[in-house]
Amino acid sequence: MMTVDYQRGGNLVSEKKFPVGMRILAVDDDPICLKVLESLLRKCQYEVTTTNQAITALEMLRENRNKYDLVISDVNMPDMDGFKLLELVGLEMDLPVIMLSSHGDKEFVYKGVTHGAVDYLLKPVRMEELKNIWQHVIRRKKWYPKDQNRSPNQDKVDDGAGEGEHGVTSTGSADQNGKLNRKRKDQDEEDEEEGEDGDDNEVSGNQKKPRVVWSADLHQKFISAVNQMGLDS
């Protein structure tokens, strides 16, 4: 046994005998399988509530989401697809959900995991497997230890605020990007000004040293100079 603090009915309590008393909602349309599952869960000293309809289970969870710590549901339900129940529970209550099925096909297991199931157990379920399902509750409570009455959307808002304390909010990122953009803009303007100054210097240099236009008069002077050099030598 261990001591674990987590939410029960909206109040933080200490469960010194946890996982004894962990509250489970079991869902299965097969009355025999549901009875066997309930019996095994009770032998693990869990508190068990059962229903043979997925829609009823969803209504029970919506009425009081703090009444349960974990949901175990069969995949093949006549009134609602078990994967749909899994998806809704994950979105609305953020409770850990374990899927049960007589099909061990990789496709079913993959679908269950991708829809948010914390585990996928094959029927008939063994006692050894049920003894360890409390670990999923601990993992979930570790991330949401304060107020289970809050919606997942509110938790996301608070997570954003918490990140803001460390300077990792979207606004903070925008500010940083804004500063970088301004720096880049200033640098670009400086480069453009330098480029313009360089062009001006080139123009002024050309004005100081105009090109010499070769003319017949200059050619004659050149010939005379060459002849004069030859005579001197």
Instruction: Give me the pLDDT at residue 8, please.
Output: 46
Mean pLDDT across 189-210: 54
Q: Is 134 exposed, middle or buried (0-12, 13-18, 19+ CB in 10 A)?
A: buried
Contacts of 95 (CB under 8 A, 6+ apart): 61, 65, 68, 69, 70, 71, 89, 140
Predicted pLDDT at 169: 38
Alpha helical stretches, state H, the chain = 31-43, 54-63, 82-92, 106-114, 127-130, 134-143, 152-165, 170-208, 216-232
d(CA 139, CA 159) in angstroms, rounded, equals 18
Write down the pLDDT at residue 36.
97
Task: Using the predicted structure, report yes or no on whether residue 30 has a pLDDT greater than 60.
Answer: yes
User: What's the mean pLDDT in 58-62?
Assistant: 96
CA distance 133 to 123: 15
pLDDT of residue 222: 72
Cβ–Cβ under 8 Å, residues 51 and 4: no
Asked if residue 207 has pLDDT above 70, the reply is no
The four Cα atoms 139, 141, 144, 149 give a dihedral, to 10 degrees, of 140
Q: Which amino acid is at 94?
A: D
pLDDT of 33 > 50? The answer is yes
> For the chain, what is the largest distance between any 2 Cα atoms, rounded to a whole number of angstroms?
131
Half-sphere exposure (Cβ direction) of 232: Cα atoms closer than 13 Å: 6
Residue whose token pair is 């829809």: 115
Distance CA(168)–CA(121), nearest Å, equals 39
What is the tens place of the pLDDT at every residue in 67-100?
999 999 999 999 998 999 999 999 999 899 999 9
Question: Does the structure show a pLDDT above 70 at 65?
Answer: yes
Mean pLDDT of the chain: 75
Q: Quote the pLDDT of residue 43.
A: 96
Q: What is the C-alpha R_g of the chain?
A: 39
Q: How many CB atoms lie within 10 A of CB 94?
A: 17
In whole angstroms, what is the distance from residue 14 CA to residue 105 CA?
40
Residues 6 or more apart in contact with residue 116 via CB below 8 angstroms: 86, 87, 90, 97
Cis peptide before 96 (omega within 30 of 0): no
Mean pLDDT (whole number) for 144-164: 46
pLDDT tens by residue, 180-199: 455 555 666 665 555 555 55
**With 70 as the cut, is the pLDDT of residue 225 above it?**
yes
- What is the rounded average pLDDT of the residues 146-156? 46
Question: pTM higher than 0.75 for the full model?
Answer: no
Averaged over 16-35, what is the pLDDT?
A: 92
pLDDT of amino acid 123: 94
Per-residue model confidence as pLDDT tens digits over 107-146: 989 999 999 999 999 999 999 999 999 999 998 876 554 4
